[in-house]
Amino acid sequence: MKRNFFRSFRTFFPSLSRRRKSSQLNAVDVVESRCMLSGLSLSVTPSTISENNGSAEVTVSRTSTVGDLQIQLSSSDETEALVPQTVTIPAGSTSVTFSVDAVDDVLLDGVQTVQISAVATGALQIDTSYGVSGFGSVPGPLSRDAAVLPNGQVIVTFSSGADFGVSRLNVDGTVDLTFGVNGVAIVDVSGESDVPEAVVVQSDGKIVIAGTGYNGPQFDFVMARLNSNGTLDSTFGSGGKVLVDMGPGSYNEIWDLALQGDGKILAGGNLSNNGTNLTVTRYNSDGSIDTSFGVMGTAEINTSRGSDRGHGIVVQSDGRIVLTGGTFGGNDSSTVTLVRLTTTGSIDTGFGVGGIVQTNLPGWYEQGSEIALQPDGRLLVIGRVSDPNVFPPQYHPVVLRYQVNGSLDTTFGATAPGYTIVQHQSDNFSLLGIGLLSDGRVLSSGSNGGTPMLNVFSPSGGLLQTISLSGSQAVQVAVSDSDDVFVVAGNSLSRSGVSKLTTAELSGSASLSVTDYEVIDLAMAEFADEGGQLTATVSRSNSDNFGPITVQISYSHSSELAGPEFVVIPAGQSSVSFSVNVQQDFDLDGDVITNITTTSDGYVSGFAQTTVSDSGRIRIDILPNDDSNRIEARTKEIAAGIYSAANFDATRIDVSTIRLSDGSTEVPVAVQRKRGYRTAMDDLNNDGRLDLIVWFDITGLNRSTGARTLTLSGVFGEISFWGNDEVEFFKQRGGR
């Protein structure tokens, strides 16, 4: 008759002497349901930048300080503003600042609003759409292990009385009734009490379940393989079942499975035929023992320290095999243990010391419960450790990371280099399952005083979350390719199954305005003389030159420069040239700096500057108020008007410096006897300024008939001036 036999989870320590509690481990304190939520917030300074090399500082903040948080950044319009691809808020900080740079898009598109977005992987949260409030129940008690299929369905093993029980859950958490018989496959391997400890799914979809069969005083290795529909695979073992009598030991147990690339199956656990030792057994793909491995198919390792138990197994990329577990040698002498084997099952002496790594943590009793292989080859181990000098033992979860060669990875850990110990509210924590997310976070499942729990650690070992789950005792954790997390909760006759968790997305955004910086440029000579002409060229800086644009031209001194008020850059052209006249202003205003500004809707104004050199020319009028300017050749004396201007008061000229020249001879201002120079003042042109009238005795000039240019010159202060006028000398008929 079968015995309904069930063994406690991965506990192997014998009775211990009672001791008074005196101290606790140095561990990371935990508040239950701790997490790294919630969203991200962004602030931008300044909120508006220009395409002309403009930049802004963006600060992205979170509410937590736990762990490094890598953030993916994006710009809604990379033709306007660029952001880095990623930034990281370091552990211990709530924010990080980065720069956003404007882009000159060479388009006339006005002010553009750009959304700067930040997205990060947030906390795991229960997927309440799965099953009932996030829990998918299986039609049997005592769930043990799970494997996620590529289509998102989950294979769950459980103890069905004294037999293997297997169910398949749909993606919504309901039982797949097409699997097995009404959703359940029951397998009796040994005819006694079979406990399914591990499950793996082959690439062909077949399901391998392994565990321990109780056969009176001893245990046997038991295994079964199912087809994808839940029926026994008759090509495996005997009718789909394999039972191996490993000897008389009472602790001959399989705890974990791993698949090799060639389809062979590795079973990790322990044997107790001659002491309790770590063991790995290899099976061929048909379920037969691979006798080329180890000794007749089994590699047995005695660490020479005490009682050894093997719990988790992985296969490295080169085919070498790593098994983790624990070694007990008495109070304060237990260790987390790893052993590495070659592909043939011999000890790999290049790992640790003689192929074995034993880590003694600062507690009394510690063990490794499960192992995972990171993509870079480093090894993650989860387990538990008890407070020193405390009885009954009070266990706390621990996660450790090892380098490929077996040395502790000192870049990992929040408690000490290489590991993190977590202090939970309960004093009895069982840690059994491990998982890895694609972003490097580490998952460990276990039970805190009977309550299923999931711990989430950062890639560097900092605790990010502790989540309470449904069921009674969490056993294992499985992760899908899309980072969905399934935690198996068992050891309950009323609530057995899988909790599903998904990763929440942290996000935030902020707006940034980017203004155009398309310029209407102007180019012309920097210097010009009065009375000349300049050529100016106006151009647009953008390449969007298929349409015409009208450019307005403004002159700061119209008395110095004069040109068109508008020009048009034709369609398909980027520039146009035009002429600017340099005015003769008849004023003694020195060199005048003159600005020309170009403007067009949507463009940044252009600007050019020209210095107009003063020629010293003033306005004069021979024979004021006589527009004919005809002089009878016998005339001895004529008047000349010298016009005042804004910067030239003709009435203040030193008259003694004034001369009138015909080009070869010059004469001074005429002198009246006893009255000095003959001068007068009048507003000759009605501009509100007094002008100077002077008379000259021209008998010394060339008065022959014909047109002639007379030039008047003098000094005003320290400035020499000149002016000319056209006259015509004639002889009156009958004159001599």
pLDDT per position as a tens digit, 671-704 = 887 778 999 999 999 999 999 999 999 999 999 9
Residue whose structure tokens are 């992985």: 314
Q: Which residues pair with 453 in a beta bridge?
A: 446, 468
- Check pLDDT > 90 for residue 593: yes
DSSP one-letter code for 617: B
Identify the band that residue 474 occupies on the pLDDT scale cut at 50, 70 and 90.
low
**Prediction pTM value:** 0.65
pLDDT of residue 200: 97
Please give the single-letter amino acid code of residue 671. V
pLDDT of residue 735: 54
> Among 38-42, 110-114, 201-205, which is the least confidently predicted range?
38-42
Instruction: State the chain's mean pLDDT as an integer.
Output: 87
- Check pLDDT > 70 for residue 22: no
Q: Across residues 355-367, what is the average pLDDT?
A: 90
Identify the band that residue 16 occupies on the pLDDT scale cut at 50, 70 and 90.
very low
- Check pLDDT > 60 for residue 116: yes
Rounded Cα distance between 344 and 354, Å, is 16
Q: Across residues 323-348, what is the average pLDDT?
A: 89
- Check pLDDT > 60 for residue 35: no
pLDDT of residue 500: 92
> Among 17-26, 121-130, 575-584, which is the least confidently predicted range?
17-26
- Check pLDDT > 80 for residue 725: yes
Taking CA atoms, 236 is separated from 113, 201, 704, in Å, by 65, 14, 138
Tokens of 298: 């089994």
Query: For the segment 628-674, what is each residue's pLDDT rounded down to a tens digit?
Result: 999 999 999 999 999 999 999 999 999 999 999 999 999 999 988 77
- Cβ neighbour number for residue 16 with a 10 Å cutoff: 15
- Are the CB atoms for 340 and 348 separated by under 8 Å? yes
- Check pLDDT > 60 for residue 154: yes
Taking CA atoms, 314 is separated from 258, 300, 378, 612, in Å, by 6, 16, 11, 87
Burial degree of 527 (CB within 10 A; 0-12, 13-18, 19+): exposed
Identify the band that residue 12 occupies on the pLDDT scale cut at 50, 70 and 90.
very low
Secondary structure in 3-state letters for 525-548: CCEEECCCEEEEEEEECCCCCCCC
Please give the single-letter amino acid code of residue 682. D
The residue among 201, 275, 289, 280 whose CA lies nearest residue 243 is 289
Do strands 637-642 and 691-697 pair parallel, antiparallel, or not at all (unpaired)?
Answer: antiparallel
Higher pLDDT, 5 or 412: 412
Within 13 Å, how many C-alpha atoms sit on residue 494's CB side? 1
For 579, the enclosing helix (H) or strand (E) is strand 575-582
pLDDT of residue 642: 97
Do strands 497-515 and 48-50 pair parallel, antiparallel, or not at all (unpaired)?
Answer: parallel
Rounded Cα distance between 357 and 372, Å, is 16
Higher pLDDT, 604 or 728: 728
The residue among 297, 277, 279 whose CA lies nearest residue 289 is 297
Rounded Cα distance between 727 and 131, Å, is 114
Give the distance from CA 494 to its chain's centroid.
47
The residue among 569, 599, 380, 454 whose CA lies nearest residue 125 is 454
Higher pLDDT, 306 or 207: 207
The residue among 366, 422, 414 whose CA lies nearest residue 396 is 422
Tokens of 541: 């800086």
How large a percentage of the chain has pLDDT more than 90? 61
> Strand, helix or coil at 189?
coil
Identify the band that residue 412 occupies on the pLDDT scale cut at 50, 70 and 90.
very high
Rounded Cα distance between 253 and 246, Å, is 9
> Strand, helix or coil at 656?
helix
- Check pLDDT > 90 for residue 233: yes
What backbone torsions phi and psi does residue 137 show, to the nearest 5 degrees? -85, 145
Query: For the segment 495-517, what is each residue's pLDDT rounded down to a tens digit?
Result: 688 989 998 888 999 999 988 77
pLDDT of residue 24: 44
Identify the band that residue 604 occupies on the pLDDT scale cut at 50, 70 and 90.
confident
- Check pLDDT > 70 for residue 736: no
Q: Across residues 333-350, what is the average pLDDT?
A: 94
> Among 144-158, 439-453, 611-625, which is the least confidently predicted range?
439-453
Rounded Cα distance between 237 and 241, Å, is 5
Q: Across residues 157-169, what is the average pLDDT?
A: 92
Rounded Cα distance between 498 and 82, Å, is 44
Q: Across residues 179-198, what is the average pLDDT?
A: 94
- Are the CB atoms for 689 and 683 separated by under 8 Å? yes
Identify the band that residue 372 occupies on the pLDDT scale cut at 50, 70 and 90.
very high
pLDDT of residue 181: 96
pLDDT of residue 450: 72
Higher pLDDT, 72 or 22: 72
Identify the band that residue 11 occupies on the pLDDT scale cut at 50, 70 and 90.
very low
Identify the band that residue 565 occupies on the pLDDT scale cut at 50, 70 and 90.
very high
Higher pLDDT, 491 or 329: 329
pLDDT of residue 425: 47
- Check pLDDT > 60 for residue 15: no
What backbone torsions phi and psi does residue 102 show, to the nearest 5 degrees? -70, 150
Identify the band that residue 42 occupies on the pLDDT scale cut at 50, 70 and 90.
very high
200 Cβ contact list (under 8 Å, min separation 6): 147, 207, 208, 257, 258, 259, 265
Higher pLDDT, 411 or 23: 411
DSSP per-residue string spanning 226-287: E-TTSSB-TTTTBTTEEEE---S-TT-EEEEEEE-TTS-EEEEEEE-SSS-EEEEEEE-TTS
- Check pLDDT > 50 for residue 150: yes
- Cα(first)–Cα(last) distance of the chain, in Å? 168
Give the distance from CA 316 to its chain's centroid.
32
Query: For the segment 249-273, what is each residue's pLDDT rounded down to a tens digit?
Result: 778 999 999 999 999 999 999 998 8
Tokens of 239: 């009718």
Rounded Cα distance between 346 and 433, Å, is 27
- Check pLDDT > 50 for residue 17: no
pLDDT of residue 431: 60
Rounded Cα distance between 471 and 461, Å, is 27
Q: Establish whether the linkage from the previous residue to 139 is cis, with ω within 30° of 0.
A: no
The residue among 573, 566, 523 whose CA lies nearest residue 548 is 573
pLDDT of residue 328: 83
pLDDT of residue 296: 96
pLDDT of residue 542: 65
Secondary structure in 3-state letters for 151-168: CCCEEEEEEECCEEEEEE
Residue whose structure tokens are 């950044």: 73
pLDDT of residue 734: 65
- Helices first, then strands: H and E counts in the chain: 0, 57
- Check pLDDT > 50 for residue 25: no
DSSP one-letter code for 651: G
How large a percentage of the chain has pLDDT more than 70? 90
- Check pLDDT > 50 for residue 596: yes
